[in-house]
Amino acid sequence: MANVLTIFLLISTLITGIFWISYRIKNIKNYLINKKIIKNNHLNQKNTVKLKNKIYFFESLASFFPIFLIIFIIRSFIYEPFQIPSGSMMPTLLVGDFILVEKFSYDIKEPITHKTLIHIKNPERGDVVVFKYPKDHHIDYIKRIIGLPGDKITYNINNKHIKICTNYLNKKKCQEKLFINYSKPESSNFIQKIYFFNKKDKLEEKKVYNSLYFDLIEENINNIKHKILLLNNINNPKKDFFQQENMPKLTWIVPKDEYFMMGDNRDNSLDSRYWGFVPEKNLVGKAIKIWMSFDKNENEWPTGIRINRIGNIY
C-alpha cells in the first residue's frame, strides 16, 4: 500500500510538473489569447469560451504541481505517517496511535526501489523502527531493535529474558556481555483476550474464554530503558521459534548488515524470534512521535481521542 501511494504521488508530480513547465516556458495563456483570440477576430463567442476554458484547465492542473512536489519530497525523504494496527508494541505504542517516521534517520533512499543514495548513520539499539517485512515487502512492520550486526542473542523461554554478547560474529567469542536488567513485574491494565471457536449449525461462533492481565516490566539494556509486557503464565512452544543454520534453538548470531527486532508486547509479537533477521535495506525509518491517538481496539471504530499520548516515542 505504501509503495502504491508513492507511485501515485510520483506519477501525479510528473504529470502536473509537465503541465507546469509547459505553461511557464511556452506561456500557453498568452499564446492562446494573443495569437488566436486577438488575431482571429472571426472567432465566434462560443470558440472564445472554449479557448478560455482550455486556458483555465491548464492553469488549474499546473497549480497542483507545487503541492504534489512538496508532499512527494516530504513523504519520500523526510517524514511519513503510519498508523499502528496491532498491539505488538504495547505499552510503547497502542492500537489507534498515528506515528511520524523520520525517513532520513539512517539513509536517504530512492523512494520506489528503496536503494540507498546517501548513508547518514547506523541504527542504534533500542530504536523503534518501521521496516519492510522480510517475507513480504508489501507489508510494513514496526518493532524495536534489540540486536545489532554481530550480536549473539540468547532467549530464555522460561523467564522470557534475553542475553546479548556483542561483536560475536567477527571474533567468534563474546567481546562484551551487555548489562540487561529486568524490574519486578507490576500489574497493568493491559489485557489479552483468549478466544475459543464453537461450531454450531455450520456457523463458527467466536466467544471470549478468558482475559489475562499483562505484567508491566522495565527492560534495561546497557542503560537503554523501555517498558515491556509479559504473560508469564503463557509460553510459546519452542518449535515455533526461528532456528538459525548451525545454531541451537533460541540462540541467534545477527549477520552483517542485519538486525534482530522484537516487539515490546513480548507474548503477542510476531518478530525476529519467529521469522529471522531484518536486512538494513528493509528499514524505512525511525519512529519519533505520536501525532494523533484514537481510543480504539483492533478492527473496531474509535470511541475517542487520547490527547495524553501525543508526543515523543521512547
Q: 199 forms bridges with which residues in the sheet?
A: 204
63 is catalytic: no
Among the listed residues 76, 88, 105, 269, the single catalytic one is 88
Residue pair 156/162 in contact (Cβ under 8 Å)? The answer is yes
Residue pair 283/258 in contact (Cβ under 8 Å)? The answer is no
DSSP per residue, the chain: -HHHHHHHHHHHHHHHHHHHHHHHHH-HHHIIIIIIIIT-TT--HHHHHHHHHHHHHHHHHHHTHHHHHHHHHIIIIIEEEEE--SSTTTTTS-TTEEEEEETTTTEEE-TTT--EEEE-----TT-EEEEE-TT-TTSEEEEEEEE-TT-EEEE-TTT--EEEEETHHHHSS-SEEPPEEEPPPEEEEEEEEEEEEEEETTEEEEEEEEEEEEEEEEEEETTEEEEEEE-TT----GGGS---TTS-TTEEEPPTTEEEEE-SBTTS---HHHH--EEGGGEEEEEEEEEEEEE--TTS---EE-GGG-EE--
193 is catalytic: no
Among the listed residues 103, 109, 132, 143, the single catalytic one is 143
Rg (CA), the chain: 27
Find all residues with CB under 8 Å of 201, minimum gap 6, and list them: none
Residues labelled catalytic: 88, 143
